[in-house]
Structure 1
Amino acid sequence: MDLLITYDVETATPEGQRRLRKVAKVCEAYGHRVQKSVFEVVCREPDKVRLVSALQEAINPTQDSIRIYRLPAHALDDVEHLGKPRQTDPRGALVI
Structure 2
Amino acid sequence: MLVIVSYDVSTETKAGRRRLRRVARVCEGMGQRVQKSVFECKVDAMQFEELERRLLAEIELAEDCLRFYRLTEPVELHVREYGKFKAVDFEGPLVL
Q: Deviations over 1:62-82 (max 9, x none)?
A: 000010001102416863112
Verify the 8 A CA contact 2:5 2:67 in the aligned structure 1. Answer: yes
Q: CA deviation at 1:83?
A: 1.3
Deviation per CA, 1:31-54: give whole Å up to 9, x if none. Answer: 000000000011000001110110
SS in structure 2 at match of 1:26: helix
Alignment of 1:72-87 (within 5 A): 72-75=72-75, 79-87=79-87
Give distance in 1, aligned partners of 2:69 and 2:46. 16
Using the size of structure 1 for normalisation, the TM-score is: 0.86
CA RMSD of aligned residues (A): 1.9
Aligned length: 93
Partner residue in 1 for 2:47:
47
Q: Say if 2:15 is the partner of 1:11.
A: no
- TM-score normalised by structure 2 residue count: 0.86
Report the CA distance between 1:7 and its aligned residue.
0.4
